[in-house]
């Protein structure tokens, strides 16, 4: 290629373009999730991989069916359905029957996104809608947790419940189940050591257990400037302070800060789900309010509610409050009153 003479370029606005589009944003999040996801596969084996695939399949198929023929490829190629399926899959128990994971994906996109008019129109985070539906629909399967088996030797050992026939019950396997750190804390007042909590060698949702790796992904997103960092920070600060307060009052009953921050879906929810740009406030002030609300609700639900985990409902609740927050934190137009 030889250099041509500079020509007069005629172009309409916008003249400055940034590389940030929906597909690249989605790709960034998926890359950020990979370490924790791979750790989940390593801890829980091939069943975990299959659960994630089933959930993604459910999402993508639903998106494909309910989109206009002309827009199908565009809608799918932005990767948002894949990301929803991935996030949903990571919140599921590794031994969940595949048909349930698939239905979760269908509901996440069907009731969480398509019904609202597609990407950008939804009030609630689709992945959380899918998980909430599954939790309400199959409460036993969704709260049957398995020990992390760990290692390459066991990788191809399936959990027996993975291939349960569609619409059928899981054959009882009580011997293999193990309570999550949150369940232990809530029902038996047993603490889990910090090392296991941080690196994910505990029972729990397949992509939620490794707090450190999720934070590494968060750092990557921060470097790529693809993360509204105020929301997770606000969640950590408010949940931390609230826990500290409770822990000081009654150390025997309430867990301490590191437990609150590193157990359950805290990391995954705070960094990847609460920050979903569609369902979180637009303004920086709004982001702080949103995050603090989520943090306080998480601690409230975990310690005073009937369920051991509250990240899911805390985020759903604040999702619902987002339009209100947007309205009250709207910057004033310069020169206008009130």
Partner 1 sequence: MKQPTSSYQEMMKGIWRDNPVFVQVLGMCPMLAVTNSAVNALAMGLATLFVLVGSSFLVSIMRLWIPKQVRISSYIIIIATFVTIIDYSLLAVFPKIHKELGAFIPLITANCLILGRQEAFASRTTVRFAVMDALGMSGGFLFALMALGSVREILGEGALFGVSLFGPNFEPWVIMILPPGGFLTLGLILLFFNWVTEKRRQAQINYRLSLNSIEESRV
Partner 2 sequence: MTTQKPAEQEPSSTRLIATLAIAGLISGVAIVSIYEATLPTITANKARELREAVFKVLPGVSKMEKYQLEGNQLRFRTETGKDENTLYGGYNQQGEFVGYALPSSGPGFQDTIGILYGYIPITRKVVGMEILESRETPGLGDKIYKDLSFVSNFYDLSIDPTIVTVKKGLKSATNEVDAITGATISAKAVVRIINEGNARWVEKLPTHGLALQEQPTQQEGEK
* Residue of 14, 19, 117, 306 that binds partner 2 (CB under 8 A): 306
- Residue 187 binds to partner 2 (criterion: CB under 8 A): yes
Site string for partner 2, 193-232 (x = CB under 8 A): ----------------------------------------
- Residue 195 binds to partner 1 (criterion: CB under 8 A): no
- Residue 14 binds to partner 1 (criterion: CB under 8 A): no
Cα–Cα dist 269/317, whole Å: 13
- Residue 242 binds to partner 1 (criterion: CB under 8 A): no
Backbone region of residue 167 per phi and psi (left: phi > 0; alpha: psi in -120 to 50; beta: other values):
left
101-109, 135-143, 152-160, 195-203 -> range binding partner 2 (CB under 8 A) = 135-143
Nearer to partner 1, 139 or 305 (CB): 139
Cα–Cα dist 83/113, whole Å: 13
Q: Which residue has the tokens 């009250």?
A: 328
**What is the number of other CB atoms lying within 10 angstroms of the CB of residue 166?**
10
167-175, 204-212, 268-276, 322-330 -> range binding partner 1 (CB under 8 A) = 167-175
- Residue 111 binds to partner 1 (criterion: CB under 8 A): yes
* Residue of 21, 157, 169, 284 that binds partner 1 (CB under 8 A): 169
**What is the number of other CB atoms lying within 10 angstroms of the CB of residue 115?**
13
- Residue 143 binds to partner 2 (criterion: CB under 8 A): yes
187 binds, among partner 1, partner 2, none (CB under 5 to 8 A by kind): partner 2
Max CA separation in the chain (angstroms) = 77
277 binds, among partner 1, partner 2, none (CB under 5 to 8 A by kind): none
**What is the number of other CB atoms lying within 10 angstroms of the CB of residue 276?**
23
| Token duo for residue 63 | 């998106």
Cβ 168 to partner 1, closest distance in Å?
Answer: 5
* Vertex 9: Cα angle to 5 and 15 (nearest 5): 135
143 binds, among partner 1, partner 2, none (CB under 5 to 8 A by kind): partner 2
- Residue 9 binds to partner 1 (criterion: CB under 8 A): no
Which residues partner with 13 through β-bridges?
A: none
User: Please, which residues have CB within 8 angstroms of residue 261's CB and are 6 or more apart in sequence?
Assistant: 211, 236, 239, 240, 267
Query: How far, CA to CA in Å, does 136 sit from each of 2, 110, 141, 313?
Result: 65, 17, 11, 12
15-23, 46-54, 138-146, 249-257 -> range binding partner 2 (CB under 8 A) = 138-146
**What is the number of other CB atoms lying within 10 angstroms of the CB of residue 178?**
14
Nearer to partner 2, 170 or 318 (CB): 170
* Residue of 8, 10, 13, 140 that binds partner 2 (CB under 8 A): 140
Nearer to partner 2, 225 or 253 (CB): 253
Nearer to partner 2, 143 or 196 (CB): 143
DSSP letters along 188-236, please? H-----HHHHHHT-SSS-TTTS-HHHHHHHHHHHHHTT---THHHHHHH
Cβ 123 to partner 1, closest distance in Å?
Answer: 14
- Residue 133 binds to partner 1 (criterion: CB under 8 A): yes
Residues that bind partner 2 (CB under 8 A): 139-140, 143-144, 174, 177, 187, 306
């Amino acid at each position: 290629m030889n250099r041509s003479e500079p020509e007069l370029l005629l172009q309409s606005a916008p003249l400055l373009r940034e590389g940030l589009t929906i597909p690249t944003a989605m790709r960034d999040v998926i890359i950020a999730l990979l370490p924790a996801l791979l750790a989940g596969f390593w801890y829980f084996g091939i069943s975990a991989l299959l659960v994630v695939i089933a959930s993604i399949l459910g999402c993508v198929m639903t998106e494909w069916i309910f989109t206009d023929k002309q827009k199908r490829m565009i809608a799918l190629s932005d990767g948002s359905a894949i990301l929803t399926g991935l996030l949903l899959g990571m919140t599921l128990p590794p031994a969940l029957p595949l048909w349930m994971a698939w239905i979760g994906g269908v509901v996440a996109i069907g009731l969480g996104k398509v019904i609202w008019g597609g990407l950008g129109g939804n009030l609630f985070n689709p992945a959380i809608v899918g998980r909430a539906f599954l939790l309400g629909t199959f409460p036993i399967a969704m709260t049957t947790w398995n020990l992390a088996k760990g290692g390459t030797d066991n990788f191809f050992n399936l959990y027996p419940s993975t291939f349960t026939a569609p619409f059928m019950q899981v054959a009882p396997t009580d011997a293999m189940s193990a309570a999550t750190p949150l369940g232990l804390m809530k029902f038996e007042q047993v603490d889990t050591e910090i090392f296991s909590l941080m690196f994910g060698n505990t029972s729990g949702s397949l992509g939620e257990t490794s707090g450190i790796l999720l934070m590494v992904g968060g750092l990557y997103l921060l470097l790529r400037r693809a993360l509204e960092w105020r929301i997770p920070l606000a969640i950590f600060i408010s949940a931390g302070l609230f826990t500290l307060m409770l822990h000081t009052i009654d150390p025997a009953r309430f867990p301490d800060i590191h437990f609150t921050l590193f157990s359950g879906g805290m990391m995954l929810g705070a960094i990847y789900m609460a920050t979903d740009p569609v369902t979180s406030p637009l303004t920086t002030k709004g982001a702080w309010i949103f995050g603090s609300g989520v943090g306080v609700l998480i601690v409230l639900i975990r310690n005073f509610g009937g369920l051991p985990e509250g990240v899911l409902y805390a985020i759903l609740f604040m999702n619902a409050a987002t339009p209100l927050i947007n309205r009250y934190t709207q910057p004033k137009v310069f020169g206008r009153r009130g």
